[in-house]
A and B are shown apart, each in its own frame.
Chain A
Amino acid sequence: MVRSSDDNEKKSLVKKLKDVEISVPIVYGNVAFWLGKKASEYQSHKWTVYVRGATNEDLSVVVKRVVFQLHSSFNNPIRAVESPPFELSESGWGEFEIAITLHFHTDVSDKPLHLYHHLKLYPEDDSGSLSVKKPVVVESYDEVVFAEPSEGLFARVQNHPAVIVPRLPAGFSLPPVPAEDADKRKRVDPKDNPLTQWFTNFSEADELLKLAAARQQVTMNLCIFI
C-alpha cells in the first residue's frame, strides 16, 4: 500500500494494530548498602530504588518519566525522574512501601501505570551480619504490555532492544517513521552504572522447565479419566 498524501500517513500512524501486543520487560526494586561506621541512628543505610529494562536496556523509548513516592517523613516525598536511569537514591533507616508511577510518551499511552515496591534494607535472615560491601537487593520482574499499539508506535520501537515486538504478517508495511538518531538513543552503558553488578539476571528458562514438568504430571493424571 503506497500512501501518497500526508493525511493518509497521519491516519495510518494512529491506526491500531489489532490483535497485536508489544511488551517491555522491566525490573524494579532496590539496592541498599549499610553505612557501617558512618551509620547514624536516622541514616543507617544508603539505598537506591529504580526501574530498569530487564536486560539493562534504555526504557526512555517508551517511558517519559518515573515518579517515586516515598514515605511522608521524607522531604518532598514525591520525586520525579525525567531521564534514564530511572532511579532515586536516598539515605534512611526505615523500610516502607514506595509507589512507583510510570508515565509514558504521548504516542504510547496517556494513562500512567502504577507499581508498588516494598523497600528492603535488612537481610532476610537475622543471622546475616550487616556488611558494608554487600548490599541487600530485592527486585521484581514484570512486563508492561501495550495492547493494540498504533502503527506509528510500532514502527518507532520495533527495532529497539528494550521492546519485544511480534512478527507482523508478511506483506504488512508500516508507515515510514523517522529513524531514531543513533547518537541520541542513549544506551545505558552497564559500565556507567555502579549498581549494575548487583542486578539479578532474570531468566524464564528455569520457570518454564518447572512448569513444563508440572503440566506433564497433571496430564498423566488426567489420562486416567479418558
Chain B
Amino acid sequence: MDAKDILGLPKHSLPIPQEKKSRPHKDSQRKPDGISREVYALTGGVAPLMPSVDVNQLKKRHQPENEKITWEWLSFTSSARKDDLKLYHWVRVVNGTPPTGDYQFAKYNKSVDVIKYTDEEYEKHLTDPVISRAILIARAPSPADVSSHPLVKEPYNITQEIERKRALSMVLSQTKHQERKDADAAQDAELAITLNASPEHMEKTTAPVETGSPSNIQAASGVAPLMSMADNAAAAAASLRSLRVYLRTYALDQMVQAASSSAGLRTIKRVEQFLQELKVNLKPKVPTKAVCAEHLELRKEILTLLNLQKLLQNKEEGSSYREGSYTETPDTPKRLQRGIDQDRTFVPDSVSFGAISTERVGKRDQKRKGPGREAPSSPAQSNKRPRKLKTTDSHQENRNQY
C-alpha cells in the first residue's frame, strides 16, 4: 500500500479503465492539424513555447517583376579540367540568357610545385652545413633580428662537435667505479692546487692515471686511482684551511665524512648505532677542539672494528667450505670474541659444524668477558661466524670458564 503511495500509483484498480478511456480522448482532442500525430509527439507532444526562428527575420527573396526566371538543366565546362568533359547542372536562366564565365569553382584548383632531386644532386649541391646559416642570415630583415637564433649565434664546427659527442658518450657510459675515480681525481687536483704542490704531496699525486677513466679533468699531475683514508682526511683539512673561517661543527662534519668515504651507507648507519649504544651523542653537544678530536677518533676506531669483524666473517665463511671441523684450541681470545658478539647469529646449515644448533645462540649472552665490563651489543651486525668446535666442547662452553 505504501509502495503504491510512494510511486504515485492509484490505490484502487477500479479507476484504471476510466483512465484508459480518458487518455485516448485527450490525445484525439489535442492532435493538431498540419503535421501528423507522431511528429507532433517528437517535440514533446505540446506546442512549442516560443518559435525558434522569428519568421519576420527571414529574408525575402527579391524577385523583380520584370525578370523571367527559369531553371534549366545545362552542360558546362571547367577550365580546371584538362579534358573536354561536359557535365550538367541546374542553371538559373534569366530572361532566356544563360550565365557566362568559367565554372565558379575552377579558381580553387591550386597545385603545389614540389622540387624533386636525386641523391647525386643532393650531395653535389645541398650538403653544405653553412647553407642553412647563410639562408637564415640572408632572409633576415636585419642582422639584429637573426643574431639571437642559435644557428647564427654558434656557428657549427664539425670537429668540435665530433669531439664533444665522443666525450659526452664516454661520460654517459661511465661506470660507478670510474665515477668514483673521477671524484678522487678532482679531490686530488684541488688538494694539489690549495697546497701549492708542496714536495710531499707531489709524491702522492704522481701515480699513473688509469687509462679507463674518461675524465676530462686535467689533474695537476696523475692521480692515484683510489685515495686512502689519510688522503681524504688531508684533502678535507686542506679545504677547511682554504675556507679560513669556519665553525668547529662544520669541520667535524667534514672530517667525519672524509673518514667514512670508503664506507657504504649501511656501515655508516652501523657506526651511528654503535655510538648510540655507547651513549655518545652523534653530534657532540659541546664541540670543543678536544671533544671533536676524540669524537673523530672514536668514529674511526668503530669503523675499523666493524671492518675487521666483517673481514673475519668473510674469511671464515670462505674457508669453512674447505675442511671438516678443525679443532680450534679453545684458547682465551676466541672465547673472548664469542663473549663479545652475542647477537643472534644465523648460522647457515652448510657452515655449522658439530651438532650445535642455532638455538644455543641465546645462551651466549651469558658469557660476558671480565667483571663489570659491559660489552656493547651490536644487533645490527649479524656476525655469521660459524662455530668450529667439536660437539663435546659445546657443553663446556656453557659453563663460564674464566
A interface list, Cβ under 8 A from B: 23, 25, 104, 108-109, 111, 113, 115, 141-148, 164, 202-204, 206-208, 210-215, 217-222, 224-225
Contact = CB atoms under 8 A, between A and B. Distances in A.
Given A213-B278, A224-B340, 9 more contacts: A109-B244, A113-B247, A141-B286, A143-B247, A144-B248, A145-B240, A145-B251, A164-B289, A218-B301
Contacts of B288: 25, 143, 204
A70 B245 CA distance: 24
Q: Interface range on chain B: under 10, 10 to 19, 20 to 34, or 35 or more? A: 35 or more
A18 to B, nearest CB: 9
A144 B245 contact: yes
B268 to A, nearest CB: 16
Nearest to B280: A214
Interface stretch (B11-19, B207-215, B304-312, B380-388): B304-312
Contacts of A147: 240-241, 243-246
5 contacts: A145-B245, A207-B281, A207-B286, A208-B291, A222-B305
B245 A113 contact: yes
B286 A222 contact: no
Given A211-B298, A222-B304, A224-B337, A144 B247 contact: yes
Contacts of A215: 294, 297-298, 301
A111 B247 contact: no
A222 B301 contact: yes
A109 B244 CA distance: 8
Contacts of B287: 141-143
A217 B308 contact: no
Contacts of A225: 308, 312
A208 B284 CA distance: 10
B281 to A, nearest CB: 7
A224 B284 contact: no
B249 interface: yes
Contacts of A211: 280, 291, 294-295, 298
Interface of B is mostly: helix
A217 B278 contact: yes
Interface of B: 240-241, 243-249, 251, 275, 278-281, 284-291, 294-295, 297-298, 301-302, 304-305, 308, 312, 333, 336-337, 340, 373, 375-376
Contacts of B336: 224
B65 to A, nearest CB: 84
Nearest to B332: A224
B290 A204 contact: yes
B280 A210 contact: yes
B340 A221 contact: yes
Given A141-B285, A142-B247, A145-B248, A214 B304 contact: no
A109 B245 contact: yes
Given A147-B240, A207-B285, A221 B290 contact: no
A148 B241 CA distance: 7
Contact of B376 (A23, A141, A142, A217): A217
Contacts of B376: 217
Chain A to chain B: the 8 pairs with minimum beta-carbon distance, closest first: A143-B248, A214-B278, A211-B294, A109-B245, A204-B288, A218-B301, A204-B286, A225-B308
A220 to B, nearest CB: 7
A101 to B, nearest CB: 12
Contacts of A204: 286, 288, 290-291
A220 B245 contact: no
Given A210-B279, A224-B337, A218 B302 contact: yes
A146 B245 contact: yes
A139 B41 CA distance: 86
Given A104-B245, A111-B244, A221 B297 contact: no
A27 B195 CA distance: 33
Contact of B246 (A113, A207, A214, A219): A113
B220 to A, nearest CB: 21
A119 B281 CA distance: 22
Contacts of B304: 222
A209 to B, nearest CB: 10
Contacts of B297: 215
